[in-house]
Structure 1
């Protein structure tokens, strides 16, 4: 399955109550993220996979996001190969911010592009 065959959605199609899996690294996460997102960096994902399965309801769709969509596409493929209903969020957190979706963060400044 190539990246073009992975299911993806645009930012506007991500429900407010979606299970959003953010696979960016810690510094990116701290700079700005969607409220309520589950953070498991791609570099740690295989070892922390159980955290996602504990949080996901049976059959729940998982929306996977990174900065622009490359890492999230790889994780989406991994999840789909394991039978989860995962979709890649096209454009990632850059598109999230550009669309005016709410962000929270640990840094003094909001997410900086």
Structure 2
């Protein structure tokens, strides 16, 4: 099934792309991509109506496992979801910008 899903590296995410972060609240607060949408993985089935259907959605988590599940779930309901390989760990390794909600230096937990 994984072969059927679209996947990209953090470097392949287009500028201005719609990003859905499916990590837990504490992970999001510690550091996330500015402008990303946050719906924890466990809430995706109840909240998928909040995800846009008219654009590609790049799904990200800590390392790629939870985002893979969310991508598969969304795609079976007609979304154009794309899994981000390596997740926020790869984002941080690539020294891409992050913001935090807790006032501390953004970090990936």
* TM-score, with length taken from structure 2: 0.92
Provide the rounded CA distance (Å) in 2 between the counterparts of 1:81 and 1:4: 14
Secondary structure in 1 matching 2:48: helix
Residue equivalent to 2:45: 46
Provide the rounded CA distance (Å) in 2 between the counterparts of 1:112 and 1:14: 19
Residue equivalent to 2:57: 62
* TM-score, with length taken from structure 1: 0.89
Which of 85, 91, 109 pairs up with 2:80?
Answer: 85
Structure 1: gaps of 5 or more residues:
none
CA displacement 1:83-111 (0-9 Å, x = unmatched): 11111000000000111111000231321
Instruction: Confirm or deny: 8 A CA contact 2:63 2:87 kept in the other structure.
Output: yes
Structure 2: gaps of 5 or more residues:
none
Residue equivalent to 1:105: 100
Secondary structure in 2 matching 1:64: strand
Deviation beyond 2 Å, 4+ runs, structure 1: none
CA displacement 1:8-48 (0-9 Å, x = unmatched): 00010101200000000000000000000000000111111
